[in-house]
Structure 1
């Protein structure tokens, strides 16, 4: 069931990236039904699937559809603060959350999430295009005066 649920999420993400909201939400809904029946955070066949995966991928799907209000709501449904996710999964989700907070106007929260992610996985963070893009965009907001953001910009070479 977990592998099937993971495949449904991949299909949902593919449709979201193609701009097909109806299909993306259909596959997300199907995956959500399966996730309700399985324990969170267990890995089968190199696939982690469960309620945490649903929260993470729902956020990503909403971002890809440009539905930032929905993405913000989805990000808040993460069970246990993401404790069932592996480190890089949590970092990816927190980077998505930073983007959502940037897009919804909470730039201080975006900076805090990026800073936390940079501390948790510095090499990963420095090699992500999304991290660089968010930091560049934050430099054009009132958060640009933040020493924390300036440090991230320097670290990423985007100042």
Structure 2
């Protein structure tokens, strides 16, 4: 595996695309809207493939084009909300919480204009993610629970898209609960998420999420890591390591969480190997600030430098022990 991608700051173009401005009243035909939807789906694929550099280059143009038509169509407003949601998620990967708040605000506004409760729930999910990362995990859990209660029930009558977005909201509840240190809440959200996943058709490919049974178990691993239950995390991770996980961002998350768990147990060599596997899944994901901080911590704890390859890896990522 070659050197990992170096972290980048969000470009000025992406940040400028989030700023308020006059929207054009230009109309659009159904075919034009369909092309915009295809572009949005492609950019979502770039995110799940961890091609953050290309995503950052292409998002501003799509946002500009969607802003041209969002005022004339509820569907276009929903697509614009999705573009802002993706922007917020990308900025969170960069560790840029300040501009992520701007993107979340824009996403919530367009979601309300769309009139689609599923789009609103998707925007709430990103909002809750940012709240939790800003040390407001308890508030994030309360927000998620409120929206989940509105979306739950009568699952047989719900569309796969509704179930997928509800499931992803529940998984955000798992993460936020772990950050809040609430094992009971983690357990409750996981139970609900598993119930929803069991109702999802296995063949469903939803463009709004990659929700399913495997993603639920990946979040269970992450929650155990966040709670400091390294042994439980690795027990949950091992069967997933033997599975084919088609989404690169999810594969990288599994191995990064495994690296955290190994590090918590003081198994730095195993942690290093897990990080290199994560890098092979998604090089750009390993370059984000959270992973770089983990590598720096692991290298600092290897005071006798018994793992020269770990220190070389840290230098590749531009971090110092």
Settle same-fold status: TM greater than 0.5: yes
Distance 1:123 1:7 in 2: 25
Superposition deviation, residue 98 in structure 1 = 0.5
Distance 1:35 1:45 in 2: 16
Q: In the alignment, is the contact (CA less than 8 A) between 1:41 and 1:48 conserved in 2?
A: no
1:43 matched to which residue of 2? 205
Report Cα offsets for 1:134-156 as digits up to 9, x if no partner.
21222213784323212211111
Consecutive unaligned residues in structure 1, runs of 5 or more: none
**Alignment TM-score, normalising by the size of structure 1:** 0.84
Is 1:59 aligned to 2:221, yes or no?
yes
Is 1:99 aligned to 2:268, yes or no?
no
CA RMSD of aligned residues (A): 2.3
1:155 matched to which residue of 2? 316
Q: In the alignment, is the contact (CA less than 8 A) between 1:91 and 1:117 conserved in 2?
A: yes
* Larger gyration radius, structure 1 or structure 2: 2
Number of residue pairs matched by the alignment: 157
1:135 matched to which residue of 2? 295
Superposition deviation, residue 133 in structure 1 = 2.0
Consecutive unaligned residues in structure 2, runs of 5 or more: 1-162
Superposition deviation, residue 42 in structure 1 = 4.8
1:86 matched to which residue of 2? 247
**Alignment TM-score, normalising by the size of structure 2:** 0.44
Distance 1:89 1:35 in 2: 16
Question: 1:116 pairs with 269, 277, 281, which one?
Answer: 277
Q: In the alignment, is the contact (CA less than 8 A) between 1:55 and 1:77 conserved in 2?
A: no
Is 1:71 aligned to 2:258, yes or no?
no
Q: In the alignment, is the contact (CA less than 8 A) between 2:177 and 2:183 conserved in 1?
A: yes
Report Cα offsets for 1:46-97 as digits up to 9, x if no partner.
211112101210011112222222212221232753x234112211221111
